[in-house]
Amino acid sequence: MNLTLEDIARRAGVSRSTISRVVNNHPNVSDKVRQRVLGIIQETSYQPHAAARALASQHSWMIGLILPHSVSAFFTDPYYPHLTKGVAQACNQHDYTLALFLAGTIDDEERIFPRLARKGWLDGVVVQSGHHGEQWIIGRMIDANLPLVVAGRPFRSDNVSYIDIDNIAAACTAVSHLIRLGRQRVATISGPINSTVGLDRLAGYRKAITESGLTPDVSLIAEGDFSEAGGYNAMQKLLPAKPDAVFAASDGMAIGAMRAVQAAQLSIPDDIAFVGFDDLPLATFSGIPLTTVRQPVLQFGARAVETLIDLIENGTNPPRHIIMDTELVIRQSCGAPVHNRPK
Q: What is the pLDDT of residue 153?
A: 86
The SS3 call for residue 22 is: helix
Whether the pLDDT of residue 10 is over 80: the answer is yes
Residue 224's nearest CA partner among 238, 210, 245, 213 is 238
Q: What is the pLDDT of residue 12?
A: 87
Question: Where does the chain show beta strands of DSSP type E?
Answer: 62-67, 97-102, 124-128, 148-151, 161-165, 186-190, 221-223, 245-248, 273-278, 291-294, 321-324, 327-329
Q: What is 103-164 written as a DSSP string?
A: --SHHHHHHHHHHHHSTTT-SEEEEE--STTHHHHHHHHHHTT--EEEES--SS-TTSEEEE
Whether the Cβ atoms of residue 236 and residue 260 lie closer than 8 Å to each other: yes
Sign of CA dihedral 61, 65, 71, 76: negative
Q: Could you report how far apart the first and last alpha carbons of the chain are, in Å?
A: 54
Contacts of 25 (CB under 8 A, 6+ apart): none
Q: What is the pLDDT of residue 113?
A: 73
Question: Which residues pair with residue 162 across a beta bridge?
Answer: 150, 321
Q: How confident is the model at residue 341 (pLDDT cuts 50, 70, 90)?
A: very low
pLDDT tens digits along 160-198 = 999 999 999 999 999 999 999 999 999 999 999 988 999
Neighbours of 155 (CB within 10 A): 16
Contacts of 237 (CB under 8 A, 6+ apart): 222
pLDDT tens digits along 46-70 = 766 554 555 455 667 889 998 877 7
Q: What is the pLDDT of residue 75?
A: 76
Whether the pLDDT of residue 120 is over 90: the answer is no
Summarize the confidence of residues 204-213 as an average pLDDT: 97
DSSP state of 316: S
Q: Report the alpha-carbon distance of residue 83 to residue 126 in Å, rounded.
A: 11
Q: What is 234-265 written as a DSSP string?
A: HHHHHGGG--SEEEESSHHHHHHHHHHHHHTT
Share of the chain above pLDDT 70, in %: 86
Whether the Cβ atoms of residue 288 and residue 307 lie closer than 8 Å to each other: no
Share of the chain above pLDDT 90, in %: 51
- pTM for the whole thing? 0.78
Q: Report the alpha-carbon distance of residue 275 to residue 171 in Å, rounded.
A: 10
Whether the Cβ atoms of residue 250 and residue 277 lie closer than 8 Å to each other: yes
Whether the Cβ atoms of residue 148 and residue 129 lie closer than 8 Å to each other: no
96: exposed, middle or buried (C-beta count within 10 Å: 0-12, 13-18, 19+)? buried
Instruction: Look up residue 281 and give its amino acid.
Output: P
Domains of the chain: 5-57 (1.10.260.40), 62-165+297-324 (3.40.50.2300), 167-295+328-340 (3.40.50.2300)
Phi, psi angle pair for 61, to nearest 5°: 55, 35
Q: What is the pLDDT of residue 48?
A: 62
Whether the Cβ atoms of residue 335 and residue 322 lie closer than 8 Å to each other: no
Q: How confident is the model at residue 24 (pLDDT cuts 50, 70, 90)?
A: low
Q: What is the pLDDT of residue 49?
A: 55
pLDDT tens digits along 254-289 = 999 999 999 999 999 999 999 999 999 889 877 899
pLDDT tens digits along 230-242 = 999 999 999 999 9
pLDDT tens digits along 293-338 = 999 999 999 999 999 999 988 888 899 999 999 999 999 999 987 4
Q: Report the alpha-carbon distance of residue 247 to residue 232 in Å, rounded.
A: 13
Q: What is the pLDDT of residue 343?
A: 39
